[in-house]
Amino acid sequence: MSLNPSSNTAAPSSQPVSLGVVGAGPVGLSLALMAQAAWPAATITVYDTRVTDERIAQDARVLALSLGSVQTFERLGVWPAIAAVAAPIQAVHVSQRQPALLGLLRPREEPHLWLRASEQGVPMLGAVAGYGSIVMPLRQAWQACCEREPQRCVARYGTPVSAITPKAPGVEVDAGVVDQHDVVVIAEGGVFADQARKAVHHDYRQTAWVGQVTLSGLAPGTAFERFTTSGPLALLPLPQANTASLVWCVDRDDDPVQALSDAQRATVINSLLPAAAGRVLSVSPLKAFPLGLNAEKTLVQGRCVRIGNAAQTMHPVAGQGLNLGLRDAYELVRGLSQASDLDAALRRLEWQRAPDRWSMIAATDFLARSFTWQLPGLSTVRGMGLELLAKAPPVQRALARQMMFGRR
């Protein structure tokens, strides 16, 4: 499937429509750029509370991009700038510490699975890049649109939105002055701890400790997902040699990480990682983030649409939050740019996005909750599942396609 909305065979709509985008993060800016290319008659206004580029450029949060997201950025023309400071993911190693029962049966083996780009016939499975290094090229691309077409592309930075109100037939946005739009997209989500409670909500009572590690023996371009008794531990490759981004999920009520020094944390991580990951030499100071599920039942309410973290905040076990948000943006622009009836198009969007959206929410929710279940033999069942998956190449291919492109 092409991820360029303007590549559809039907002629773009000439309907003069006003689109408001609240939130100039990766999802909001990508949507605005897609709409600008696919919807030549639309007026597009992007709102964001942030005004300075310097603070955004210094934002070092690390994001995992699927291959589909990389293709989206390629078609938006921003991937060369991102790629220069990104690390491609050539392989993913998924494993579990040997459950007791399987340890008795196979003392020398651990359940594990390799997914390799070469085996899937793709140049990479995805990539890893910093938040700032993704947002800045998108921001610069949108600024270029605003300078080229100021009559229809507008950036209202440093203008917090205080209210979003249905006003038939469209929506009003109060950002100091009140603007009327035919459709408003909310793409400003934030993290779980800072969000208002949505319709589908569950606190996993888990904490993600996030930072960087340096290793010896780390295979370039390899990501690791390790299932431990307290939660998943993930390493994502970074552009710097022998360096990886760490996401370490543990029980919040019995946190084994908080009281440890950096050196002690390195020792514990080494005891958890598989041999294939190499050996941790040092750990940066870590930041803690509470984890939970917070999702809207519906993306669409009248002429107002939520996408990305504004629609669903998930556990990072699969690293799919941004990728799902970009697919939301693509399908929204594709549907609206060809629509003669905006309300009907928005209703169709809800049905079209449901399989991809809810399958990803359900999968991450199941995995996250499974680490809190105190059931005898559960880790053995999970380990056996990994072993079966490792011996089923067709299922592996289906899983890899799901992670790269979502459910189609």
Q: What is the pLDDT of residue 230?
A: 80
In tens, the pLDDT along 112-151 reads 888 999 999 999 999 999 999 999 999 999 999 999 999 9
β-bridge partners, 134: none
Do the beta carbons of residue 129 and residue 67 sit within 8 Å? no
Domains in the chain: ranges and CATH: 15-80+131-198+293-366 (3.50.50.60), 86-128+203-291+374-405 (3.30.9.10)
In tens, the pLDDT along 343-353 reads 999 999 999 99
Rounded to whole angstroms, the Cα distance separating 203 from 333 reads: 32
pTM above 0.85, yes or no: yes
In tens, the pLDDT along 170-193 reads 999 999 999 999 999 999 888 888
Confidence check: pLDDT of 5 > 50? no
Instruction: Name the band, by pLDDT with cuts 50, 70 and 90, for residue 384.
Output: low
**Parallel/antiparallel/unpaired status of strands 87-89 and 153-157:** unpaired
In tens, the pLDDT along 51-93 reads 766 677 777 689 999 999 999 999 999 999 999 999 999 999 9
Among residues 236, 233, 201, the alpha carbon closest in space to that of 218 is found at 236
Q: Kindly tell me the sign of the dihedral angle through the C-alpha atoms of 356, 357, 358, 362.
A: positive
Residue whose pair of structure tokens reads 């469209």 in the numeric block: 170
